[in-house]
Amino acid sequence: MKITVETLIKAPVAKVWHAYTTPDDITQWNTASDDWHTTKATVDLRVGGEFSSRMEAKDGSFGFDFAGIYTKVVPNELIAYSFGDRACAVEFMPSANGVTVRIAFDAETENSVEQQRQGWQAILNSFAKHVEARQ
């Protein structure tokens, strides 16, 4: 099952793309709530290149790595990647009002579809807030 989340970001596509693919930016926006943070991120943005980010609870009680391999990269348009046995596609769709970022990913079985949708949407909302604050 695919889950899709999206948001409109009021910024030029080049800024949106840069913030999504730059480790220093990723560590600033990659969080679903204020009690979590991303402590490090790596990006090798090319087909076959790897990425990873370390997400941790700020109180130190829990953390995990999110990592994968890029399967398709079209600058300012699309990033597709695999993570484990799952896949994700991130589309960047410019319009007169900004850029719609749409993420479609394979659901996992541990958490409900709604929990997964809410978590990924929260991270995407954090991303939008980060990009728009830098205008």
H-type alpha helices, the chain: 13-21, 23-29, 113-133
pLDDT score recorded for residue 134 = 85
Cβ contact 69:81 at 8 Å: yes
What CATH number did the domain enclosing 44 receive?
3.30.530.20
**How many structural domains does the chain have?**
1
Average pLDDT, the chain: 97
86-95 and 78-83 strand pairing:
antiparallel
- Tell me the pLDDT band of 36, cut-offs 50, 70 and 90: very high
Rounded average pLDDT over 65-85: 97
Give how far the C-alpha of residue 34 lies from the chain's centroid of Cα atoms, to the nearest Å.
Answer: 16
Nearest to 103 by CA among 126, 85, 87, 114: 87
Rounded average pLDDT over 69-95: 98
- Tell me the pLDDT band of 37, cut-offs 50, 70 and 90: very high
Please state, for a pLDDT cut of 90, what percent of the chain lies above it.
98
The answer to whether residue 135 scores a pLDDT higher than 80 is no
pLDDT score recorded for residue 99 = 98
Domain that holds residue 41: 2-133
Rounded average pLDDT over 85-110: 97
Rounded average pLDDT over 79-97: 97
Token couple for 23 = 């480790």
